[in-house]
Structure 1
Amino acid sequence: MRIIKDMGLKEPYVAITNVDYSSLPDDISAYFYNSEQIPTIISLACEDTNDGKILCAGAFMVQLLPGADEDFITKLERKAEAIRPMNELMKGGMSLEQIINLLYDDMDTADDSLVEEYEILEEKELKYNCDCNSERFQRGIMTLGKEELKHIFEEEKEIEAECQFCGKKYKFTENDFEDILKK
């Protein structure tokens, strides 16, 4: 799995980590624990209809601050496993904040050091869109080089490329590469 973090520097930070678990939240949590030494719980939910329309989608991430007791995250993980799946809670009308409150509700408070206050740092409305475009695909195809492009167009009338994220297809003909082919 490749993790790309934009930290406001010239180039984004890129980390590559193993995919050892059967779920994306577990793999991302493992990345944070192993690579950044931050105990993390992540929950993702997406519920759609048979025709692909999204009914509800949401996610939350809980991370321990430095110095916090790691037993707390273990208790929180157990609580997350004990409640209904997040997609069911969201379909039932619960907001993400209500789900977080549910996680914290009824925590064993015999040891107050394990129950910590939480703060919602950010909420974002997400929408699915892909920023692919013809020019980006054309630049990628141009990296094949002049000779390879000539060879392809000797056998095919066009090159078809498909975006792996949104499935949009782009078709290019020899005319689209005439500048590089004439050189």
Structure 2
Amino acid sequence: MSDSMVRATAAGGEILAFAACTADLVEEARQRHGMTPVVSAALGRTLTAAAMMGWQMKGEKDLLTIQIEGSGPIGGLVAIADSKGNVKGYANNPQVDLPLNSKGKLDVATAVGIGVMSVIRDIGLKEPYTGQTHLVSSEIAEDLAYYFTASEQVPSAVSLGVLVNRDQTIWTAGGFILQMMPGARDETAQQLQEKVSAFMPVTEYLAAGHTPVELLHELLGEFGVEILETHPVGFQCNCTRERVEKALVSIGRQELSQLVEEGEPVEMRCHYCNETYQFSIEELKELLTIL
């Protein structure tokens, strides 16, 4: 199944819903960053959520960032998504390896630790909008549900998951976000909560071959679900050699001259996608001519 996400409404517009399958996206992130299973699970959940949330942005250049800073060995997670289904991100320490938790699951909560979650929406204004809440479980999904309710006053149900094969590749990944719209009835919210509580883990449903559209029909069919749009989603970074050149130029003539004097090629690495860019001494000298 190729990665995709879907947007829908239900209960006559009382519920706004998103669902996504992101196995290929998370696998690419795993390969690029060399992540262990527990880090793949933590970052994969964050990337999946960012993709669905970023899709809600209106402008072509709008960006949404989820930033998690915790006391655990991962240190922090960052995921950035645009409004077109592109997402990128990284973990501060991709090599964290922990034993399974008491339930036999990947111990994301311990890997992340106690901390805060920030959601940053950059819509081209002078300052981006930033909302921040404390982590309540460090499992990512519950923390986002709390963020939506506490920071944005939008009661929400969030489920995110990543299943990892024995060889550490990604078997499946995905999730859903269900939100109560202004004016929604308490009865609808109660019925939705009961439905979500009784639903199987989202990765089990996707691993059985079901699509995000089928996922929303399974969850919301009794409410009268209306599929609005489906969209591809994938890992994509906007770093380029030209951007890296500008970063080198920005350090100034003195520091750039020092790099030339050291006589060694310079290697620059993108945090988000782990792509490397090498610059020879001759190329560094050329950059000096534009300063």
Aligned to 1:133: 240
Aligned to 1:99: 215
TM-score of the aligned structures, taking structure 2 as reference length: 0.49
- Larger relative contact order (Cα-Cα within 8 Å, sequence gap ≥ 6): 2
Say which of 121, 132, 149 aligns to 1:33. 149
For 2:263 and 2:142, locate their aligned partners in 1 and report how far apart those are by CA, in whole Å: 44
Query: C-alpha offsets along residues 68-93 of structure 1, whole Å, 9 cap, x if unaligned?
Result: 13564465345434322111111112
* 1:27-176 map, 5 Å: 27-47=143-163, 49=165, 50=167, 52=169, 54-69=170-185, 72-73=188-189, 76-77=192-193, 79-104=195-220, 116-155=223-262, 157-176=264-283
Query: How big is the alpha-carbon RMSD for the aligned residues of Structure 1 and Structure 2?
Result: 3.2
CA contact (8 A) 2:145 2:158 kept: yes
1:15 aligns with 2:122: no
For 2:254 and 2:129, locate their aligned partners in 1 and report how far apart those are by CA, in whole Å: 32
- SS of the counterpart of 1:23? coil
Residue 64 of structure 1 deviates from its aligned partner by 0.9
- SS of the counterpart of 1:59? strand
The change in CA–CA distance for 1:26 and 1:150 in structure 2 (over 3 A counts) is farther
Q: Give unpaired runs (5+ residues) of structure 1.
A: 106-114
For 1:71 and 1:149, locate their aligned partners in 2 and report how far apart those are by CA, in whole Å: 64
Task: Please identify the structure whose Cα radius of gyration is greater.
Answer: 1
What's the % identity of the aligned pairs? 27
TM-score of the aligned structures, taking structure 1 as reference length: 0.71
Structure (1 or 2) with the greater strand fraction = 2
